A and B are shown apart, each in its own frame.
Chain A
Amino acid sequence: MTVHTLIAPRPAAGCAEDAVLRERGQREVFCGLTSIVWLHRKMQDAFFLVVGSRTCAHLIQSAAGVMIFAEPRFATAIMEERDLAGLTDANDELDRVVERLIARRPDIRLLFLVGSCPSEVIKLDLHRAARRLDGIFAPRVRVLNYSGSGIETTFTEGEDAALAAIVPQMPAAAPGAAPSLLVAGTLADVVEDQFRRLFDGLGIADVGFLPARRLADLPPVGPATQVLLAQPFLKDTARALEERGASLLSAPLPVGAEGTTRWLQAAATAFHVSRERFQNVTAAGEARAERAVRRHRAALEGRRVFLFPDSQIEIPVARFLAREMGMELIEVGTPYLHRGHLAAELALLPPGAAISEGQDVDRQLDRCRRAAPDLVVCGLGLANPLEAEGIATKWSIELIFTPIQGYEQAGDLAELFARPLARRQKLAV
């Protein structure tokens, strides 16, 4: 398939106006704490201290398989009976824990106090605690807070909350500074470097990434900053950046060849890059991506896919599966639908694609079984049970833990969906 580089989202096509099924019930999703798993890999001098329960600690270690790290850069301050009964001052306890932690890890420059369900329910004021501790440890260690609680955040919304907490720490762009580009949302380092090279080629020299790998590398932000979202779940982060004067570019996400081109195009247009230069810079990558994707198209074309809600990346991925892989979308579930940020994505979805927001997992499983899809994209709690029923699955968590954005990863992304089907064909047991 050929994607042309001159692109404006097609008006009113797709399902932007279609009804969305809103569900309320049991959600088979992670809470926001889980995003610590990739955030701590990305932010190499940050430590994430969850103030929560044993459940929080168990969740993160189960999701992260943390035993592979000698000493991970995240931990849980587990609240105990006496913390709740008010026998000890929670703030004194927190100070003690933080002091011990900072003494133990002199390499840490940024400490997040991360709120959890129990800390939110007992209304432990972590914002004040962070300000107090910041007063003690700054400038050597900065202390910030956000909530990754399950009562407020779903999975990737934890990253949104963390980044929104960092935005006030970004330096202010100098008055009258030249326009700059800010890419918001965690990308794998290798993807970030690829994009940096592409922006360089386009002549967009001043490009920052949020989050930065180190606290000291936080890019400046100001009225001349144009923001490109690299992830779909950055509601609060985008708002915080806008409050700093930045403006948001509307684009699909850089998923697949088409998405990457359109995403880069949004930046190119904002920075007045000539059409010729854009084509010169992107043509090779785009062609490579299309070639890589084409290899898997035969395996996926015409197959029917059902996506359970997980990370909010479902809509961009569904768009890729429908438009570049020729798959038929049965249902595209998302934990939360931000119509504004996803306007360009929704416009590209095939007409009639059913979108559901939120979840009632048992009812959704009923719909899924009735539809008998060829492939289900779902979380790890559902994958093996569905496989045991004879339904092929793709773990949605891989869409977050593996690099899928950009031209060079488009083939990998396609392969993620082709692999379970290929495996089934090979197996004769």
Chain B
Amino acid sequence: MQLTLWTYEGPPHVGAMRIATAMEGLHYVLHAPQGDTYADLLFTMIERRDRRPPVTYTTFQARDLGGDTAGLFQDACRAAYERFRPEAMIVGASCTAELIQDDPGGLATTLGLPIPVIALELPAYQKKENWGASETFYRLVRGLARPRAGDHVRGPRPTCNILGPTALGFRHRDDLLEIRRLLETIGVTVNVVAPLGARPSDIARLGEADFNVVLYPEIAEAAARYLEKAFGQPAVRTVPIGVGATRDFIAEVARVAGLPPLTAEAGSRLPWYSRSVDSTYLTGKRVFIFADGPHAVAAARVATTELAFDLVGIGTYSREFAREVRAVAAEHGIEALITDDYLEVEDQIAALRPELILGTQMERHIAKRLGIPCAVISAPVHVQDFPARQSPQMGFEGANVLFDTWVHPLMMGLEEHLLHMFRDDFEFNDRSGSHLGKAPAPAAPAAAVAAEPEPAAPSVVPATTRWDAGAENELRKIPFFVRGKARRNTERFALERGIATITLDTLYDAKAHFGR
């Protein structure tokens, strides 16, 4: 048993729902008790979908357990087919139904429905949401995809499938638009996008493309590997998050598609923005990353090579990607945190005291508690992750979005420099405040007086520690937005060393101790 206060991933059948809901003409019959329908509202509320997920739940009850739950499942299958007339059906069990071992696949097959019925085995007590999505997509591809008719003749334009975007995916909608446009710009025709927006009949013609683009490996890698083996379709595996990765992606596509080397950087602003002098203050900002595997790996590259941050910590809740994330950590001489316990993540953040957190919605809350700026870079999704505007993470526009969303939470560059420069100006008083409002201010650039986030709770300073007049005076000269922090750090420094009276020296010793 694992004590869980909050979990990054849902159960595997929710992953299957993300595939079914992404598609058209597919229906999922889920053997499940009442209550499991909660998952519908993830789609209708978080993603604001205008239709119910195409899922029928058998809703068995305690009194059915001694009786005929298998019959209940078959009735539900039949009724779902009659009502929704899908092109294909997937069937499976949620965690409770797994225990009663009714064999949904076998039961559905004996009904002899005139459509393909694909059975899912999603072990709910071992696996999680992303695995469930990946397995479901793989089973669908395996069950429905047909090899291309006749010999492979390349047309005038190479063709590809885009694999991986799902319902309830982190910016999948926007990434897809961006990458589709990019591929078409460089001369590649998109054959099928799947699962998002695909019908079972579209899955059937995956084999017609020259190659596959694996946009989200956590969803599509298993299917891509199958297509590679079964139909000889090569796969492009670079995840195009960030400028460098997008360039690599284009180069890989060109290579696989047999196109001449090309560039397509129109609209890419990150490189210049990052070289612009106002970005100087970003240099060496200490960043902590926690995300699903692919987003963590991609963010590490962008943060360090495109924004010149220092990576002080990295982790993932995707055990499937532990190896890749550990490799990135090793490059930066740190150890990766592989866990799905957010309390462990919180502990590590508190210990590392980063200046910026790139994480999930949970790390956003941790950041709020610790007073650290944060940007969200990964699922699990929140209603905020479905903005009305286009906001991709991938491609050159995605890199622009990353620049904005990662840099804005930090101090507003030049503005904060000026704030600091004019701190003695008579018009500048403590009431004028920073745009960061009342939140504990993050580390200020030039005034790195004991620059580190505050602990969540104010430290208790015994009455024995006091400030002498000189130190108190000097403290007042420190800009207000770091003064509280300087005071606390100095007091902590004094407390740890048994210093009863804080002098000018103590203040600057503390600054030297905590500063970089």
Contact = CB atoms under 8 A, between A and B. Distances in A.
Interface of A: 25-34, 51, 53-55, 57-59, 61-63, 66-68, 70-72, 74-81, 83-84, 90, 93-94, 96-97, 100-101, 117-118, 120-122, 149-152, 154, 362, 379-385, 387-388
A379 B41 contact: yes
B101 to A, nearest CB: 10
B431 interface: no
A326 B360 CA distance: 47
B133 to A, nearest CB: 14
Nearest to A33: B35
Contacts of A96: 1
Contact of A28 (B13, B40, B42): B40
A63 B40 CA distance: 11
B76 A26 contact: yes
A36 to B, nearest CB: 12
Contact of A81 (B4, B65, B76, B123): B123
A384 B125 contact: no
B126 A31 contact: no
Contacts of A53: 11, 95-96, 124-125
Contact of A121 (B6, B36, B65, B369): B65
Q: Please indicate which of the listed interface residues B3, B49, B83, B343 has the most CB atoms of chain A within 10 Å of its own CB.
A: B3
Interface in B17-68: 33-42, 44-45, 48-52, 56-62, 64-65
Nearest to A97: B3
Contacts, number: 182
A75 B45 contact: no
Given A55-B36, A385-B44, A61 B6 contact: yes
Nearest to B128: A54
B234 interface: no
A93 B1 CA distance: 6
A104 to B, nearest CB: 9
Interface string B162-180: 0000000000000000000
A98 B9 CA distance: 23
A75 B4 contact: yes
B213 interface: no
A377 to B, nearest CB: 15
B440 interface: no
B94 interface: yes
B59 A27 contact: yes
Given A26-B56, A97-B3, 4 more contacts: A58-B11, A81-B123, A381-B41, A383-B44
B10 interface: yes
B444 interface: no
Nearest to A54: B11
A62 B42 contact: yes
A381 B62 contact: no
Interface of B: 1-7, 9-11, 13-14, 33-42, 44-45, 48-52, 56-62, 64-65, 76, 79, 83, 94-96, 99-100, 123-126, 128, 343, 361-362, 365, 369
Interface of A is mostly: helix
B120 to A, nearest CB: 15
B35 A61 contact: no
Contact of A120 (B41, B44, B56, B62): B62
B11 A29 contact: no
B369 A70 contact: yes
Contacts of A117: 33, 35, 95-96
Contact of A385 (B51, B62, B83, B126): B51
Contacts of B61: 151-152
Nearest to A31: B35
B37 A84 contact: no
B6 A72 contact: yes
A54 B38 CA distance: 13
B10 A58 contact: yes
